[in-house]
Structure 1
Amino acid sequence: MNVAVDEFGNPFIILKEQEQKKRLKGLEAHKANILAARTVADTLRTSLGPKGMDKIIVSPDGDVVITNDGATILERMQVEHQTAKLLVELSKSQDAEVGDGTTGVVILAGAMLDQASRLLDKGLHPLRVADGFEHACQVATQRLEDIAIKRDIHANDNEALVRAAVTALGSKVVSSRQKQLAEVAVKAVLSVADLERRDVNFDLIKVEGKAGGKLEDTCLINGIVVDKDISHSQMPKVTRDAKLCILTCPFEPPKPKTKHKLDIKTAEDYKKLQAAEQQYFVDMVDSVQKCGANFVICQWGFDDEANHLLMQRGLPAVRWVGGVELELIAIATGGRIVPRFSELSPDKLGRAGCIREVSFGTEKDVMLVIEDCANSKAVTILVRGGNVMVVKEAERCIHDALCCVRNLIRDDRIVAGGGAAEVAGAAAVEEAADQVRSVEHYAVRAFADALLALPEALAENSGLSPISTVAAVKARQLKSNNPNLGINCMGVVKCEDDLAVDMVDESIYEALVSKKHQLQLATQVVKMILKIDDVIAPSELHQQ
């Protein structure tokens, strides 16, 4: 311990904590890592399912976010522990690759680590536990392949896609309008999907939120919506057969990059300077007109004089358009982004059928709509809501629905929801565990117990008894040999027979690719955590 003095002469104590810290190794390190990861997983457990609870997250700046999306919760949590950060990355990976199931994958990983902790207490080596989990994951994945149902996703007006999107939205804040938002998501994905290649270009789907109005005012626009208005109030509000000039250079006179000084001593010098500046603006507007453009979109601002000149020439313009939106407009309209006025030419113009300014609500909020784009089928989902928090959460929910529909287009096989797939996988893993003659038998059986953690959380969040409900569903599945029986979360439960319902008949199902990826990703991360037996700080690395 040392005593030092700050700049104002006040003494303070310096504690040498680094020497007092105890470095964890071996089994103690495993338990500490597992405990940290389980703490993160337990935070999300109550957010699973259609009856799951929401979390309110307050940032250091005081911004409030209300959501039950696993990826968003973990992204905004300030996680310090290194192993716990692995679960944050796990949720991000699930969100990036699949888009749905971000909460379930973390809960599954936490349940597997809980089972692994019990096995380590019994004396099993972490590598044997990891190998057992890997074998069990292969068995569960194969079981999902066997029970998957192939669906014609385009039959009955894309009913399968709509129902899958409804299932994804069932656990969200927007569940009151889930059918409408599901139909919007399906139309958006099908508008940009390449069905021959079974691929969806998400870059052509823009989700734009605007506070005000009601959630049911959310709609799909066949074009691009930009949250900007026409730069001058007297410019035309509608432009037909638009030829867009997309600029990344400002409508301003050039500025020298070196330090400069200009002395103006007479009125004639001032008039010459003003005439030179006006000529710059005239040349800029002339170059736009000569290339044949009738609409200007600029990344930067306009000088008032340039804006007035554009209005006089009958050239509608939009300024301060973001770089991402600029790129999307260029892709959709087939235009080229031009960095200098001297490079403007007719072949670099984008084309659209109509560009119009639309106003919303009583506050006259204005947005720009670019429709009938020439080069692609770009679409925009315009999300409305009572306030900013509702709009942001609706955007996150629609993202999950879009990803769910995209997954079914890539692979049109489905598995039953409501925990049915996990219960069927757990039964298959338990049966396979009896065939394992080594000590890994315990790890395989523990994996089956971990799989049941998801339906147990689903039942618990629905107000049901988790153990008896999962046991009843499992018994009904084995008795009737029907792997589609899941937990009845939404219906009325009067007796034990009402606990299990056929999820496919109830049109509650998920894409097979989502469940498979969830299992495999969670297993990989758990194996990684089990193989960590020491954490070395940067200062210790330097000393070594």
Structure 2
Amino acid sequence: MSTQLFNENATQERAENARLSNIIGAIAVGDLVKSTLGPKGMDKILQSSSSRGDDGLVVTNDGATILKSIPLDNAAAKVLVNISKVQDDEVGDGTTSVCVLAAEILRQAEQLLDQRIHPQTIIDGFRLATAKAREALENAAVSHKDDEAQWREDLLSIARTTLSSKVLAADKHKFAEVCVDAVLRLKGSTNLDRIQIIKKAGGKVSDSYLSDGFILNKKIGVNQPRLVKGAKILVANTPMDTDKVKVFGAKIKVSDTAQLADLERAEREKMRAKVQKIAALGINVFVNRQLIYNWPEQLFADAATGLVTGGEIASSFDNPELIALGSCDTVEEIIIGEDRMVKFGGTAAGKACTVVLRGGTNQMLDEAERSIHDAIAVLSQTIAEPRIVYGGGCSEMLMSKAVDEAAKLSIAMEAFARALRQMPTILADNAGLDSADLVAKLRAAHYEGRSTTGLDLFNGDVIDVVGKVTESFKLKRQVLLSASEAAEMILRVDDIIRCAPRQRRN
């Protein structure tokens, strides 16, 4: 006699079957994105079935963007999607690396499970290996924050490394300067909201530039000055129209046109009073989040005020002492492509800036924006944690060597070291190079004591990567820790229980 524990149609996978299902799912996700890794990585086209035209079309090699766009049913695969999101939120880049490394660790774990080694034994070895790898990474990290020239060069090198695997790789030197200049304006803050990115289709990618100040995608009102110096700004969110009674469901009946004229006159006088209150604040620039219609616009022109953006948003003007006004040096109209916009120069905070991106297609612009965001995010985190490490497979080989040397008694630690060595192998494979030969040379160089050796994927050689391929220490540490934690969590699972699908009622 058998007792049914779960609802009908619920499923359960146990022990080896559960582990195998998880590991295969995670490896499949790693294999999906690993071809995008490195400066020679390929892109993916993601197309939504519900969108028409090119609205649902995304061309990208950003790991987080790819993984969050595809529907997955495997539980372990969803864990890797989550770690890529965390990596994106925490550091901004390395989303592909963290998924690929976690998948490679699990690929090695699968071979150990086939040898009948218990998952907890493997996990213990992986934990020791992670600690050794982290220690080696921290010992190799250096900081040049006290040397201003070298510090800027480090930031530029990090930006170039980040951008070299993106769509902006051909202009990485120009965009590295743009990103570094933008982030240094933040003066140590990691709040990226002050760096605005405006995308305008048309022109070439190389026509993009960094503009000091804030650019607002609005037009200056009719009969308003196109340049205001010493701007005193009010930002409002208030209705500025007189053509309807603003009470929902209200009805007004009039018996003759004279009463209608009186009603219109009252509305106009009410609007005149509001404009006078705004003008009495002593501002010379006014921006409203709602439309400004002809009559109040004419009143503003008469009062010689401009129409633009700044300080805290106000919706009532009866208590002028409670309204916080903004300020900046200049407010002027500029033209980007064929569009007129408003630029606020010399903002009060002194930190705002705008990256203006140009490009041939909307997909190109969207991917360029993702690339700039990744670079800016990594740079801002590097300023907060100024240590750097070296890329091109250098750091992974360094950690692999340290784990190998400590793996005298643990076969799991040897497996972890092999997983780390897979990262430079994949970089070389994606570049169409002989990965077996190159990684063997790289490993030999590290065992000879040349610990700053990495791969030159453009010339197919092993070189000293100091000053050539630089990465953020925080990014690399986060990739290591997140990947090993995700692999450990997936290895711990010995049971997968799926609920019965909910029945649809006709």
TM more than 0.5: yes
Q: Which residue of structure 1 lines up, in the alignment, with residue 472 of structure 2?
A: 511
Matches of 2:332 and 2:358 in 1, distance apart?
A: 19
Q: Which residue of structure 1 lines up, in the alignment, with residue 169 of structure 2?
A: 175
| Residues 347-366 of structure 1 mapped to structure 2, 5 A cutoff | 348-361=324-337, 364-366=338-340
Preserved contact between residue 250 and residue 301 of structure 1 (Cα < 8 Å): yes
Shift of 1:157: 8.0
Verify: 1:500 aligned to 2:476, yes or no: no
Instruction: Identify which of 255, 258, 275 aligns with 1:268.
Output: 258
Shift of 1:379: 1.5
| TM-score, with structure 1 as normaliser | 0.86
Preserved contact between residue 414 and residue 511 of structure 1 (Cα < 8 Å): yes
Instruction: Identify which of 467, 473, 477 aligns with 2:442.
Output: 473
Look up the SS of the partner of 2:354 in the other structure. strand
Q: Which residue of structure 2 lines up, in the alignment, with residue 222 of structure 1?
A: 212
Against the structure 1 CA distance between its residues 249 and 344, is the aligned structure 2 distance closer, same or farther, given a 3 Å change threshold? Answer: farther
Shift of 1:520: 0.5
Matches of 1:360 and 1:270 in 2, distance apart?
A: 45
Matches of 2:193 and 2:429 in 1, distance apart?
A: 38
Shift of 1:228: 1.7
Identity %: 34
Verify: 1:97 aligned to 2:90, yes or no: yes
Name the aligned partner's letter for residue 235 of structure 1.
Q
Structure 1 residues 41-80: Cα deviation after superposition (integer angstroms, max 9, x where no partner): 1111100111110111112314211111111111222223
| Residues 176-215 of structure 1 mapped to structure 2, 5 A cutoff | 176-194=170-188, 199-215=189-205
Preserved contact between residue 249 and residue 341 of structure 1 (Cα < 8 Å): no
Look up the SS of the partner of 2:299 in the other structure. helix
Q: RMSD value over aligned CA atoms? A: 2.2
Shift of 1:206: 1.8
Matches of 2:151 and 2:245 in 1, distance apart?
A: 58
Preserved contact between residue 249 and residue 299 of structure 1 (Cα < 8 Å): yes
The alignment of Structure 1 onto Structure 2 pairs a total of residues equal to 491
Deviates more, 1:200-209 or 1:95-104: 200-209
Shift of 1:347: 5.5
Structure 1 residues 148-203: Cα deviation after superposition (integer angstroms, max 9, x where no partner): 23324621582221112111111111111100100111111111123xxxx43323
Matches of 1:149 and 1:346 in 2, distance apart?
A: 49
Instruction: Identify which of 115, 122, 137 aligns with 1:122.
Output: 115
Deviates more, 1:174-183 or 1:532-541: 532-541
Matches of 1:248 and 1:57 in 2, distance apart?
A: 38
Name the aligned partner's letter for residue 101 of structure 2.
L
Instruction: Identify which of 39, 43, 51 aligns with 1:54.
Output: 43
Matches of 2:269 and 2:25 in 1, distance apart?
A: 67
| TM-score, with structure 2 as normaliser | 0.92
Matches of 2:91 and 2:313 in 1, distance apart?
A: 32
Against the structure 1 CA distance between its residues 151 and 157, is the aligned structure 2 distance closer, same or farther, given a 3 Å change threshold? Answer: closer
Shift of 1:345: 4.2
Instruction: Identify which of 34, 52, 56 aligns with 1:45.
Output: 34
Instruction: Identify which of 402, 407, 425 aligns with 2:376.
Output: 402
Instruction: Identify which of 61, 67, 71 aligns with 1:68.
Output: 61
Look up the SS of the partner of 1:356 in the other structure. strand
Q: Which residue of structure 2 lines up, in the alignment, with residue 27 of structure 1?
A: 16
Instruction: Identify which of 159, 175, 197 aligns with 1:165.
Output: 159
Name the aligned partner's letter for residue 179 of structure 1.
H
Instruction: Identify which of 217, 238, 242 aligns with 2:227.
Output: 238
Structure 1 residues 209-258: Cα deviation after superposition (integer angstroms, max 9, x where no partner): 2222222222222211112212x343222221111111122214585655
**Structure 2: tracts of 5 or more residues without a match:** 1-6
Verify: 1:36 aligned to 2:28, yes or no: no
Against the structure 1 CA distance between its residues 449 and 172, is the aligned structure 2 distance closer, same or farther, given a 3 Å change threshold? Answer: same
Name the aligned partner's letter for residue 488 of structure 1.
D
Larger relative contact order (Cα-Cα within 8 Å, sequence gap ≥ 6): 2
Q: Which residue of structure 2 lines up, in the alignment, with residue 88 of structure 1?
A: 81
Deviates more, 1:452-461 or 1:74-83: 74-83
Against the structure 1 CA distance between its residues 157 and 28, is the aligned structure 2 distance closer, same or farther, given a 3 Å change threshold? Answer: closer
Q: Which residue of structure 2 lines up, in the alignment, with residue 488 of structure 1?
A: 456
Against the structure 1 CA distance between its residues 513 and 299, is the aligned structure 2 distance closer, same or farther, given a 3 Å change threshold? Answer: same
Preserved contact between residue 208 and residue 381 of structure 1 (Cα < 8 Å): yes
Look up the SS of the partner of 1:270 in the other structure. helix
Preserved contact between residue 22 and residue 77 of structure 2 (Cα < 8 Å): yes
Q: Which residue of structure 2 lines up, in the alignment, with residue 4 of structure 1?
A: none
Name the aligned partner's letter for residue 526 of structure 1.
A
Matches of 2:91 and 2:316 in 1, distance apart?
A: 41
Against the structure 1 CA distance between its residues 134 and 282, is the aligned structure 2 distance closer, same or farther, given a 3 Å change threshold? Answer: same
